[in-house]
Each structure stands twice: as C-alpha cells, then as structure tokens.
Structure 1
Amino acid sequence: MIAALVLLAGCSQKAPESHAGVPVIALPVQAADGQSSGRFPGEIHARYEMPLSFRIGGQLATRNVNTGDAVKKGQPLAQLDPKDTADQLTSAKAALDAAEHRLLFATQQRDRDEAQSKQNLISQLQLEQTQDAYASALAARDQARQQLDLAQNQSRYTTLVADHDGVITSREADVGQVLAAGQQVFGYAWSGEREVYVDVPESRIDGIAVGQSATMTLPAMPGRTFAARVREISPSADPQSRTYQVKLTLDPSAAALQLGMTADVTLQAQKAAGPMVRIPATALFHQNEHPAVWVVRPADSTLELRPITVVRYGERDVMISDGLKAGERIVMQGVHTVSVGEKVAPIAPPHPEDAPQ
C-alpha cells in the first residue's frame, strides 16, 4: 500500500519547465533609405574674402577707412608716402626726354649718311656705324618709355583702392608703419553673394558631396529658411578639431545677411543604392576584425553571430548594407556578455529613448 502511494505521488508531480533564457535587450531592425540628414552649426561669410595690400613697399601715410566701413568700387582706402615714387617718376620723365633727343639726333645723322652714301661720299663702314647708333638710340628710347610707364604705375600703387563694393572686416596696419610689398593692410569682404561655413566631423564627411542641397535657418531671423548648396569640401581635416570645413553657397535672397551670423544648417546626405538597415552603435560587435551583430533566431530564441557590411558610421548609429534584413531581431545592448547558441529572452529597452529611431 505504501509503495503504491509513493508511486502515485511521483506521477502527480509536474514535469520540470524548460529554461526560459537569459533576458537581453533585443528589437527588430528597421529599414532605412540610406539618407542621414545632419544638422551642423554654421557661420555666415562672404563668397569672396581676401586681404588688401599695397603692391609696393613704403610708409603708410593715411588710412581712410576703419573696420566695419562699407566701401564702393574705386574708393581710396589708404595712401603710402608718395615722395619716393614721385622722384622716380620725375627721373623717368627726364630720362625719356634725353632718350628722345638722342634718337632725334641719331635719326638726322642716319638720314644724312644714307644720302651721302648714295653719292659715294662716305665709306660703307661709316654708314653702318651711323645705322648702329640709330638702332641703339631707338632701343634706349623704348626702354626709357617703359621705365616711365613703370614709374607711373608705381606712383598709382601708392593709393590702395577698392576693386569691388564690400566691407572692411579687419585693420592690420597703422599710420606711420613701414610696410613691405604685399603686407596685409585690411581684411576685405565683397558685397553680394553669401556663404555659410560648417565644420563636419570625420564620421559624417563621407555622406557629403559637392552640389548637395541643404537648408539654413538663423536664430537672428526666426521663421525664415534659406536654400543652400555645397560648393566646396576641404580636402584635409583641421589639425586641431579634426573636422572638415564645408562651404555652402546661399541663394540670392541671403545677400543681405550680416557677416558672422550664426546659422543652423540641415544637410541631406546622398542616398545610397540598395536596401539598407540602421542599427544602434551599441549593437555592433566585432568578430576578429570584421563587424558583426548578434541575431536572435526566431525558431528557438538562440543567438547567432552574423557578419555584416557597414556603409557608414554615425555618431549614434551604423548603416548596414548587407548581412541583415528589416524585421530581424538583434541584441541592442550588452553584446559582450552573450555567446553563440545561448538561449535568450528578448526584452524592450528600459528607457524608450534608447530604442532605435
């Protein structure tokens, strides 16, 4: 009787439950179109910005404009001491007068000797010497004329003139200072076309190309949006910030924007070919040197380490072109705490903001 009771009690016990799996944060991946719109802070600049300087050296005698002044094309901006150039101009004029007088005498002598040579009154050698003297006098006159033109140019170069409408952005020299040729006197920005400069980090520069469109807003002008287009991408990174400078040309309606305004630029990256998915950067694992992710098999909730092809690394996410399909569930966090074939129980992130967008 006792044996029968024990047997019946053993049969009434439930079978042991199967292992439920280790909880892991895992969610299905979402399809992406390959575009990554980036927002970058920017600064308004003129399309043409350059230093202004004298073509010749000398002592700065007068300065007619200051930083922030708007100037017109042809307006005198500064003046060098003209005494030296005036003396050179006077000397060049005197040298030209002397050369023209010698040429006149050489011309008359040549004409006389040619007439006498026809009558055999002078030797052939004397005629050749007269012709040589005329050729030398002619060359000396031409040289003196060129020296005068050069002296006149040097005299004009003592006045620094604006070659385009614009604004003075900086002042680099003071009255009385002795300047070398080409030494900067003013910083200058042309009126008209405006651009916005943005600094793009290394991880985002591959998604930007010349001709790409963008939009821009300014805190100083709320409610207004300006169209922009990428004109130039720096070929090398800044050695300090390790960012690449991108210059975007603005539409003509932005010509009135003040230089130095801060801007918020939204730049749309180029669309990649083929289906793609985006995963959080925390889901990325490396199998030796190759990127991979932990995929949850739908049949038995075990883990598979699958290699993937990364197209672009972002600040918080990674764009995948091969190895994953939309809807497949992957481990989003804690990728270094799981192993191949391990049974897991997928759960959602504890904080909604941690879920992939």
Structure 2
Amino acid sequence: MTIPNLRLVLRGCTLAISASTILTITYGCARPQAAPSNDSGKKALIAVSVRKARIGALSRTVDISGSITALNDVMIGPRSAGKVVAVHVREGDRVQQGQIVAIMELTDYQTQVNAALAGLRTAQTRLAQAEAQESQAENLLKQARVNVEVLDTSTLAALEAARASVASADQALQAIKAGARPQERQQAEQQVRAARASRDKLKTDLGRIKDLYKEQAVSSSQLDQAEAAYEAADASYRAAQEALSLMLEGARSEDVKRAELAVEQARQGLRKAEADRSQVDVRRTDVANAQLALKSARDGVVVAFEGSRQAKATLDLARNALNDAQIRAPVSGVVAARLAEPGQQLGSGGQILRIVTPGTVDLEANLPESEYPAVKTGQTVDVTVEAFPDRVFKGRVSQIYPVASSAARSFTVRIVFNDNKDLRPEMYARARIVVGTHTNTTLVPKDAVIFSNQSNQAVVFVVSSDGVAQERKIRVGYMDAESVEILEGIKPGESVIVAGQSGLQTGDRVTISR
C-alpha cells in the first residue's frame, strides 16, 4: 500500500514515502561494520533467512474515513407556529409513510376553514345570481330584437299602404272632377288590385302577431299597431273600389265631397303610419340598451366567477393548513429522536421528530486533495466499523463531490454498500479504496527491502548459488504491509535476504538458516 507522506523505519533507516505509484531509491543506510574474522583470518559465515522473489499481483489503495449517513434522514415539524397537542411515537418506534405521528392545536385552523367555507358559499350565491341576470338579459335582448323585426315589417307595410291610399284617393278625386278616361279607369283598377294585395298582406301579418301575442312574444301595443295598419289598408282598399265605382258612374256633387273626404282620411292614415314608423327607431334603442345590459351582466358573471375561484382557493389553503396541523411521517422508518412534547409551543420551522430509514445508508468520507486524481467512481471499497471489527463491508465509489472543502482541502466521497442492513447512521467508518492493481509482476517480502532517505534509493541483498551475498539496487512500485513490487533489479525466483542482512556487504558469505 502506498500512503502519502508515510515515514517508514526499516532496518534502522527512516524514509518519507510519497504517494506516487513508482519510487526509485538507492541504498544508503548506515550499516554496522562487517563482522571480525576468526582466529584463522577467515570471516565467519553470516546466518541469514531468505525468500524467493515471486510473480503475483499487488494493489495500490487509498485509505479514507468518515461517517455512515442515512439516505432518508428527515426532521419533521409543523409548517406554522403553534402548540403541540399530541406526539404519538417515541424513539425506536417504527412508522409508516403517511402515518399521523403528532397533532398541533386545531382550533384556529378549523375556524379558518369554517370562515373560508362560508365565504365560498356567499361567492357561489353571487355567481348564481349573476348567471341568472345574464340569462334574463339575453332573453330581454332576444325580445327586443323580435319587437324591432315585427314593428319594422308591420309599420313599413302600413306606411306603404297609407301612401298608396292617399295617392288612390287623390286620383279618385281628380277623376271625379275631370271625368274618367280609359287610361284612368285602368289606373284605378290597378290601384284597387294593389290596395287589395296590401290589405291581404297586412291581414296575414296581423294573424302572425296575434299568435305571437298569445305566446307573450310581443306587446299589446304592437298588436294594436298591427290591427291599425290592417284597418288602414282595408280602408284604402274600399276607397280604391269606391273611386273606381265613381269613375265608372260619373261625378255628382256628393261624390266629389265623398272623394275629398276619402282623400283627407287617407292623409290622416298616412300621418298615423309615419308616426308608427318612427317607433322603429325607439325599439332599436331598446335593442342597444339590452345589449349594454347583457354586457354588464356578463361582466358581472366574470367578477362573480373570479370571486368564487378566490374563495375556493382560500378554502383550499385553510383545509391544507388544517391537514398540515396533523403531522404525518414523510417516509417509512424508525424514530431516531423525539424533540418536542405535548403542550410545547413551537415556532415556524420547529422540529418534533427525527425519522431515519435503517438499511438505506451510505458512507460519506473525506478524500485528501493529493489523492483526488487517483479515485474514480465505480472503484471497489472495503469498509470497516468499530461495531463489527471482524467484518469487511464491500462497496463502491458512487460519487465524488466536484468542489473541495475550503477548510480541510479535501473532497467528499460517497460510497454505497452491497449489503448495509447492519450499519447505522453516525457510525464511524474506515474505507480502503482500490485505485489500481498490477498483475503478473515481481514481488518480494517487505522485510527484504532496505530504504534510504538520504539517496532516495532502495536495495535488497540476494544470495548466489555459491552462498555469496550481493547488494542490488532496485526500483519499486506498489507496496502493501507485506510485499513490495520490484520494477527493476530482481528477477522472479532469485533468493532475497529477509533477515540478517544488517551489516552485510557484497561478497560476504552467508549461511541460510531454517
């Protein structure tokens, strides 16, 4: 395992090891002097222990620590200030999502609901009244339009008949005075036919208006006008007949008088028809007024509808506040803390309970800035906690926060577990992240390597087949508590000295102890 700035003391040497994956070090530790020779002048054999360099795999890890945190860890309380009436659960109790766990005082909220409900009913009554007024205004407008149409038709026909009657009476008078000519007789006959047609049309109109009057679709004054128009047309028809008759019989003094009287009566009928015609404009004014009244009624409906909508929104808010006074668990879990008691007055934002969900936990740990480039999401992690010292919880790196802490100069790493049912929030945990693995590489025991902090090099002693020790400079890679990766300097199968190399020099003869 490579650990940043870790100081190792091996074989009487002190070394600061960096976190880089490959380290080149040269042997430079001070060693004791070689053992003195025996009496015969030959050096004594030095007893050593050896191990074979081997092929294997070695991983580099990063150690971090942090706290177990619950994914669902919520504090619950009232939305508004008030007095706690009841708390139904205590620490350790299990709750289900939506369960009522506490109740705030409800009196004020119920009063607000009652007031809002009364306001809504009033607003709905106003809306109903406004809609009734709108319907009434629509009917009045429809009636006014029918009145205009009927009056326009009947008065126009009456006016035309009155004008024809005047013309016919004038012609009859002139004919009586002057005597009839063939052309005048033909003209008088045409006037009789025209007067009869006008009278028949007004008779038909009168029948239709009488039917409408029975259905209360027209007023009595309109019926009177229609009857007057018909009578005027009938009089015009009789006058035309009489004029034709006089023309055929010849003029007498009493005929002239009657003709003059007929002319005057026809002119009176024309004046009345003209007066009746002027009522059409009055009725058109009624239509315009009815249209304004309908617009006003529709505006009243819009205002009343908005008032009803606002009243309903107020009621919904009051009901929500009443419902919020019954505190419900937002998640299923276990009560971790009971923070308020019945009778306690809480302000806005006050807390009553803390609820956590066991089994849905992860680890949030601090990653040193120097190790940030090495750690990636998806890397495997071994986690230990003091509560279970003999267990290793497997996990992986799920997230690395993108911004470092300004105080600790570290990044937060989130680790998720494969099996976390025994872990609990706030447990202290240590994690070892595997950031790299070298396979099929040369490994030697860590006791075989002699490090020097003077020349930043490392050496090992190997034993030749004839029992002679030889110092080798090496370049190391990954290392852990037991093994060191050898990148250069040692081949698999060579025997390296793991004990007894203190004071050895190249060329010393050694004996291998078992």
Matched with 1:127 is 294
On the 8 A contact 2:334/2:355 being kept in 1, the answer is yes
Corresponding position: 1:94 with 2:263: no
Matched with 1:275 is 440
Deviation at 1:105, TM superposition (A): 1.2
Matched with 1:293 is 458
On the 8 A contact 1:219/1:263 being kept in 2, the answer is no
**Structure 2: stretches of 5+ with no match in the other structure:** 1-39, 146-286
**1:1-357 matches, cutoff 5 A:** 29-35=53-59, 48-118=72-142, 119=145, 120=287, 122-190=289-357, 193=359, 195=361, 197=363, 210=378, 212=380, 229-230=395-396, 232=398, 235=401, 246-250=415-419, 254=421, 269=434, 272-276=437-441, 277=443, 280=446, 283=450, 292-296=457-461, 303=471, 305-310=473-478, 316=481, 320=485, 322-323=487-488, 326-327=492-493, 343=506
Q: Secondary structure at the residue paired with 1:174?
A: coil
Whole-angstrom distance in 2 between the partners of 1:240 and 1:84:
51
Give the AA of the match of 1:272.
Answer: T
Cα shift readout 1:190-210 (whole Å, capped 9, x = no counterpart) = 36x455759688699967964
Give the AA of the match of 1:185.
Answer: I
Q: Call closer, same or farther: CA 1:280–1:174 in 2, change over 3 Å.
A: farther
Bigger radius of gyration, 1 or 2? 2
Whole-angstrom distance in 1 between the partners of 2:472 and 2:392:
48
Larger strand proportion of the pair: 1
Q: Call closer, same or farther: CA 1:110–1:153 in 2, change over 3 Å.
A: same
TM-score (norm 2): 0.46
Whole-angstrom distance in 1 between the partners of 2:94 and 2:385:
25
Whole-angstrom distance in 2 between the partners of 1:80 and 1:347:
86
Give the AA of the match of 1:293.
Answer: A
TM-score (norm 1): 0.62
Cα shift readout 1:237-285 (whole Å, capped 9, x = no counterpart) = 895999966442427xx5xx59579899998947725434476498555
Q: Secondary structure at the residue paired with 1:272?
A: strand
Matched with 2:22 is none
On the 8 A contact 1:38/1:267 being kept in 2, the answer is yes
Q: Call closer, same or farther: CA 1:115–1:218 in 2, change over 3 Å.
A: same
Larger helix proportion of the pair: 2
Deviating more after overlay: 52-61 vs 236-245: 236-245
Deviation at 1:152, TM superposition (A): 1.0
Q: Which has the higher contact order (CA 8 A, sep 6+)?
A: 2
Whole-angstrom distance in 2 between the partners of 1:260 and 1:179:
27
Whole-angstrom distance in 2 between the partners of 1:250 and 1:146:
48
Whole-angstrom distance in 2 between the partners of 1:136 and 1:117:
22
User: Over aligned residue pairs, what C-alpha RMSD do you find?
Assistant: 5.7
Q: Call closer, same or farther: CA 1:327–1:75 in 2, change over 3 Å.
A: same
Number of matched pairs: 320
Q: Call closer, same or farther: CA 1:83–1:287 in 2, change over 3 Å.
A: farther
Cα shift readout 1:78-109 (whole Å, capped 9, x = no counterpart) = 11111221121112111111110111111111
On the 8 A contact 1:217/1:263 being kept in 2, the answer is yes
On the 8 A contact 1:44/1:194 being kept in 2, the answer is no
Whole-angstrom distance in 1 between the partners of 2:124 and 2:67:
60
On the 8 A contact 1:46/1:195 being kept in 2, the answer is yes
Q: Secondary structure at the residue paired with 1:176?
A: coil
